[in-house]
Structure 1
């Protein structure tokens, strides 16, 4: 199979680089300065063990397709539709993205859709460069057919990942793992908006408690923390890379790059949506969604608020919904 990675940032760049190192056909799809850097100098992959520049084929839009192509979409969720719109509808699509809405959205347009639950600590803040902090594997990736099951394509992808410095797992219940990841990703807005060390842990717990409440009310299963810990084991330990500060997660990186958009509508916003559908107040996630979007829209840097300021806004919203 040839893997066409749409969105060659931290996650997509690492997956594409590792598959390329494993001897597989890979094309990276990127835009702007990142594409220009890939085209002229290749992809620089930095890990705790090595630094390597890889001559991975790159393009800034659709390429002539083959019968064995698989699209791996690693864009932010808000860019899914526009990223996939130019591609032929018969190609299988793997959603290597946070959130739980992408697979359903893509299934409206493409027949074969796969979920990938991504646990992959990486950063992309400089054109042409990706830093992957995981060791001994760069990431742990559950893969399965959407809405459920596994097939020849998903099994082959898992096999190829496992031969390429990644830890891949067959997951017929892949969305159960993605809902568990969603609960963890409710911290992304706190990580992005709050100043480091200002005490955002309580806000994260509040957002997660709301998330668990709405998932349970909706009857949506998710992998438990003990299941996640058992599977992850010591497969993906986060290691430092000399000379590179890891910074924050994907939402933090969106603010750091002044990208103008952020994934909050598909993370905290997913909990807000379910809360409204089932009549459960979700004030913490409402405020986190709103503030993360405001920071992205106004291109504010990461850490522009204290946890106390954010907590006051959540308290205000909690009082309003309890009236």
Structure 2
């Protein structure tokens, strides 16, 4: 089984290192100093007090790696559409694309059934780049839970978590999803196959679409924004609006809003990924995490006034920083 990790940053590097440790035939697509360090010194993974280094095939040009059985995409959501063409040398007739990207996935309405079957989402797939370039029949969904960071080029530090939930768009337990789950399990990762992966997508998105922009706007850590009465109420209203959108689409939430916010507070003084991107001068995942929910509000004719307000504010904040076009 040939597995390529496209976007071998923190999460992709962690995943690649675990697969390499298990002896899987894994390769990485990376770039810049990180790629140079991996080629020269190998990919190092720090877990607790232990550091292990693995020799892993890595390239910037996917054509050097050849056709794969699985391509696991771990880029930021806005980075994927522009590189669909670049990814084509990895894709053969039987290749599966595993979408391990935050936010509402581009394939969301594939095999969902009902009147919205096949609906496209412009916020996450402008111009249908992925829908047409990959084809929705190739896709497996994946909800990524681990936290990791690149501490220096070629070195990834695992912080917490090891779950990569998998799911077919139609909820079936296909041979390809079971085979990938088994391969990830052999690498010491949890990879449950979910019949209702969209529910899990929304529970993760619930926090990301509210905590991230509020954090970037206020520079507050999770413990602060989840306990301050004002920002907690903004997050709560955003979540309730998103819940109404999701439930209109048939999603079932296993927890309520207050418990979800309390869970965010329990994480502690964490700086969200959107705040980290703002501070680092990197483009933020605004459209995938928040714009997509607004778009789905339009699709389902569900008002999203608080989401609309926060989205306008974070877009302008990003434009002022030169990080959003």
After superposition, where does 1:162-241 map in structure 2 within 5 Å? 162-186=185-209, 187-196=211-220, 197=224, 199=228, 200-216=231-247, 218-225=248-255
> What is the CA distance between 1:281 and its match in structure 2?
3.0
- More deviation, 271-280/24-33: 271-280
Q: Aligned partners of 1:170, 1:189: CA distance in 2, in Å?
A: 30
> What is the CA distance between 1:64 and its match in structure 2?
4.2
1:283 aligns with 2:305: yes
* Matching residue of 2:106: 102
Tell me the secondary structure at the aligned position of residue 97 of structure 1: coil
Change (3 A) 1:132 1:284: farther
Q: Aligned partners of 1:81, 1:144: CA distance in 2, in Å?
A: 22
> What is the CA distance between 1:23 and its match in structure 2?
1.2
Alpha-carbon deviations, 1:89-136, whole Å to 9, x = none?
Answer: 5321000111123335534333411000111122236432322211xx
Do the aligned partners of 1:42 and 1:54 also contact (CA within 8 Å) in 2?
yes
Tell me the secondary structure at the aligned position of residue 167 of structure 1: coil
> What is the CA distance between 1:249 and its match in structure 2?
3.5
Q: Aligned partners of 1:193, 1:33: CA distance in 2, in Å?
A: 31
* Matching residue of 1:234: none
Tell me the secondary structure at the aligned position of residue 108 of structure 1: helix
* Matching residue of 1:87: 87
Do the aligned partners of 1:31 and 1:60 also contact (CA within 8 Å) in 2?
yes
Do the aligned partners of 2:22 and 2:187 also contact (CA within 8 Å) in 1?
yes
- More deviation, 65-74/169-178: 65-74
Q: Aligned partners of 2:237, 2:249: CA distance in 1, in Å?
A: 20
Tell me the secondary structure at the aligned position of residue 133 of structure 2: coil
Tell me the secondary structure at the aligned position of residue 133 of structure 1: strand
* Matching residue of 2:61: 61
After superposition, where does 1:12-51 map in structure 2 within 5 Å? 12-51=12-51
> What is the CA distance between 1:287 and its match in structure 2?
3.3
Change (3 A) 1:149 1:107: farther
Change (3 A) 1:286 1:73: same
Do the aligned partners of 1:140 and 1:168 also contact (CA within 8 Å) in 2?
yes
| Alignment gaps of 5+ in structure 2 | 109-124, 260-265
Q: Aligned partners of 1:192, 1:43: CA distance in 2, in Å?
A: 31
Do the aligned partners of 1:255 and 1:295 also contact (CA within 8 Å) in 2?
no
Q: CA RMSD in A?
A: 2.8
| Alignment gaps of 5+ in structure 1 | 230-236, 241-245, 302-323
- Normalising by structure 1, report the TM-score: 0.77
Q: Aligned partners of 2:316, 2:151: CA distance in 1, in Å?
A: 21
Q: Aligned partners of 1:141, 1:171: CA distance in 2, in Å?
A: 11
> What is the CA distance between 1:144 and its match in structure 2?
1.7
